[in-house]
Amino acid sequence: MSVLTGVAELEALGPEWAQLAGAHCEPMQSHAWQMAAVRHLHAGARLRVIVIHAGTRLVAAAPLVEVRRRGITWLELPGAATLHEPASLLADGPDALTALCRAISAQRAPVVLQRVDATGPAHAALAALKRGRFAFASPSGGSCLRVETRGTWQDFLRRMSGSRRNTMQRKRRLLEQHGAVSMERLVPEPASVSQTLRAAFEVEARSWKGAARSAVLQRPRSLEFFVDLGRRFAAERRLEVRLLHVGDSVAASQVGILQGERWWELKIGYDPRFAKYSPGMLLGIEGLRDAFERHLQAHEFLGSSAPWQRPFATGERALETLVLYPYNVAGLAALAMDSTTFVLARLRALAGGVGAAFTDGAGAFMLALRQRLARVRDVFFDWRHGVETTAPVALPELTDVDPSIAAHAVHYEATSVAKFARAMGILAPRYASRSFIDLGSGKGRVLLLAALRPFRRVIGVEISPALHAQAQANAAAFARRNPRARAVECVCADASEYEMPEGDLVVFLYNPFDATLLDKACSRLLANIARNPRELDLVYVNPVHFEVIERTGRFERLCRDVALAVYRLRPTGRDSA
C-alpha cells in the first residue's frame, strides 16, 4: 500500500488506473474524472490517493483529497461535494477492497465518501473494520435513475402511458409553430471542446439555474473542470453534446459521456422562452430514441432523481454517504461537532426558531440526517391529520393549467413543517389579527399548518384544478380531525391576479412562479395596498427571485438566506433595506 500526495503522481498512474477501471467503468471512476477534479476543484489541496498493488499490478485505489472545514481536516472523494454525482472505490475483488478499506481507516482523519452505492460492497467492508477503529454512519445519499435502452424504440413507446405520449406529441406540434424542430448530436474534437461546451452551458444559464446562480458558466472552477474533463474524453470521441434546435434557436441542451455502452447525462439546460413546451423533456425523448437506435445499453440520469425523470425510468440506483470518525482527537472532535450542530438545529426547528445552515464538512452526514428527519416529520403530519400533501407533482403532469401560464409556473412541492415553523417564529405574535394568504397553495399543507394558528382567515389560491381539488379534500379531512382549527378557504384562480381581502395580511409564497409572474403579483399586491393601506408581511420560501421584491423599495427585509426570506411592508416614502 502506498499513498500518493501530488497531482503529478496521480497523472502518472493513468495507464494502471485505466486497466483497473476497465472499459466499462463509470465516468466518475475514470482517471480523467479524478485528474480534472483535483486540478480545478481542489487546486493546491494535498492529495491522499491510496493505491494497493499485487506485485506490479494495481488492484485497488481510493482517490482522496484533504478538505479543511471548521478547523478539521477531512478526506473526501475529489469533486464529490461540488458535483454531487455517484461515486465508488476501485478494487478488483473482495480481498483488494478489504485491504483498501483498511488503508482508508488507517489515515487517522475523518472520511466522507459521498453518494456510493447503497447495495455495494464498500459499506459491508468498512462496517466489518469499524470495531475499535472508528464510528461509522451511513445516511442516505438519495438516488439516481436510469432508462434501459435494450430492445426497440417502439417497445419503449408502448410502455409509456398514452396520456404522456399524447402530451409530448402535442407540445412538439406547438413548438414546431416556432420553427423546424430537430436534434443535433455533436462529438467535438479536443480543440473545439471549450466552444462547444460553452454553447451548451449558455442554454443552461438562461434557465432557472442562471437565476439561482448555480449555472456552470457562473462557477469558473466548475467550467474549468468540465472543459478539462471534456477534452480528455473527446480525445477518445466519447464526449457528446445534444442540442434541440427550433428554427435558428437552441431550445435545450444535454452534455454527456458515452462510456461502457451507456450514455451518462452530466448537464441539461433549456431556454425559458420555450418552457411551456417542455423542451428539455422533448430533447430527452429524442436522446432516448438516439440511444435505442445506436443499441446502447442504457441512458444514465446522474445527479439526484427528479420527478420528471420517473415516468421514463426503468431502474433506480440507491445511494448512501459513508462517514468514518476515527477514535482520535480529530475524529472525535468531528463527531462531537456534527452531533452538536445537528441537535441544536433540531431544537431550534422544533421551537420554531431560526434553523442552521449545514455547509460544514461532514455536511453530507448532517444534511442527510436533517433532511431525513424533516421528511419523517412531514409524512407524520400527513398521517396524523389524514391528508396527503407530501408527494411532489411535476409541472408536465399539471395538464389542466393554461400553457401560457404554465410556462411561468413551478412544479408542486410542499413546504416542510420545519420551514413553516421557522417563518412563523420570525413573525409571531404579529399574525394573530391577520389573514393568511398562500399564493400557489398546491395541495394545501401550508393552509393546514396556518389553520392551527390564530389567523383571522386562511385562504389558498391555486391555479391547477387538480391541485385545488386535492387541497379541498385535504381541508375537509383535516377539519374532521381538527374541529377547533380555523376554516380553510380554497380558491381556484391565477395567484398573480388575485385580489387580496380586507385587513392586515400575511402573504406566503413557496417560489410558485418565475420572475415575470412574481413581478406581476407583486405589482398587483402593492396597488391593492395603495388603494387600501394596511400592514403586510411577506414570507418567501426558496426565494430564487428575491430581487423582484427588494427592487420595489417597499419592503423591509427581516431575514433572507437560500431557504427563506421574510419581509415587512414599509410605510410609503421610506427607503428600502
> CB count, 10 Å around CB of 220?
10
- Whole-angstrom Cα distance, residue 155 to residue 235? 35
- Hey, what long-range contacts does 542-545 have (CB within 8 A, 24 or more apart)? 542/510, 542/511, 543/511, 544/208, 544/211, 544/212, 544/511, 545/211, 545/511, 545/514, 545/515, 545/518
Stretch among 157-161, 312-316, 524-528 having the lowest mean pLDDT = 157-161
Supply the pLDDT for residue 345. Answer: 62
Task: Examine the pLDDT at 389 and tell me if it is beyond 70.
Answer: yes
* DSSP annotation string for 25-72: --GGGSHHHHHHHHHHTSTTPPEEEEEEEETTEEEEEEEEEEEEETTE
The residues, any chain, with a CB within 8 Å of residue 120's CB and separated by 6 or more, are: 88
Task: Examine the pLDDT at 397 and tell me if it is beyond 70.
Answer: yes
pLDDT digits (tens, 9 = 90+) for 513-535: 888 889 999 999 999 999 999 99
**CA quadruple 160, 162, 167, 173: dihedral positive or negative?**
positive
The three grid cell numbers given for residue 37, joined into one nine-digit string: 477534479
Q: Which residues pair with 541 in a beta bridge?
A: 510, 564
Supply the pLDDT for residue 547. Answer: 87
CB distance 33 to 61 below 8 Å: no
Task: Examine the pLDDT at 102 and tell me if it is beyond 60.
Answer: yes
Residue 107's Cβ-side half-sphere holds a number of Cα atoms within 13 Å equal to 31
The residues, any chain, with a CB within 8 Å of residue 515's CB and separated by 6 or more, are: 211, 545, 548
pLDDT digits (tens, 9 = 90+) for 268-283: 999 988 988 999 999 9
Supply the pLDDT for residue 301. Answer: 93
Supply the pLDDT for residue 189. Answer: 96
Arithmetic mean of pLDDT, 329-344 = 80
Q: What is the mean pLDDT of the chain?
A: 88
Arithmetic mean of pLDDT, 43-60 = 94
Task: Examine the pLDDT at 69 and tell me if it is beyond 80.
Answer: yes
Provide the residue count of the chain: 577
Supply the pLDDT for residue 360. Answer: 38
Supply the pLDDT for residue 348. Answer: 58
Nearest to 528 by CA among 497, 553, 570: 497
Supply the pLDDT for residue 119. Answer: 85
Supply the pLDDT for residue 22. Answer: 86
20 CB-contact burial (10 Å; exposed 0-12 / middle 13-18 / buried 19+)? buried
Q: What is the CA radius of gyration of the chain?
A: 26
Arithmetic mean of pLDDT, 286-294 = 94
Task: Examine the pLDDT at 395 and tell me if it is beyond 90.
Answer: no
Supply the pLDDT for residue 179. Answer: 94
CB distance 87 to 113 below 8 Å: yes
Arithmetic mean of pLDDT, 151-163 = 87
- Whole-angstrom Cα distance, residue 469 to residue 465? 6
pLDDT digits (tens, 9 = 90+) for 233-254: 999 999 999 999 999 999 999 9
Of residues 210 and 145, more confidently modeled: 145
Stretch among 150-159, 200-209, 369-378 having the lowest mean pLDDT = 369-378
Supply the pLDDT for residue 12. Answer: 95
Supply the pLDDT for residue 573. Answer: 44
Arithmetic mean of pLDDT, 431-439 = 86
Q: Is 108 helix (H, G, I), strand (E, B) or coil?
A: coil
Q: What type of residue is 436?
A: F
With cell 392551527, the residue in question is 452
- Whole-angstrom Cα distance, residue 177 to residue 170? 11
Task: Examine the pLDDT at 370 and tell me if it is beyond 80.
Answer: no
As a whole-number percent, the residues of the chain with pLDDT over 90 amount to: 58
Whether pTM exceeds 0.85: no
Stretch among 13-17, 96-100, 163-167, 294-298 having the lowest mean pLDDT = 163-167
Task: Examine the pLDDT at 497 and tell me if it is beyond 60.
Answer: yes
- Whole-angstrom Cα distance, residue 162 to residue 157? 9
Task: Examine the pLDDT at 361 and tell me if it is beyond 80.
Answer: no
Arithmetic mean of pLDDT, 433-447 = 93
Of residues 345 and 125, more confidently modeled: 125
Q: Which residues pair with 143 in a beta bridge?
A: 318
Q: How confident is the model at residue 549 (pLDDT cuts 50, 70, 90)?
A: very high
Of residues 538 and 214, more confidently modeled: 538
Arithmetic mean of pLDDT, 166-189 = 94
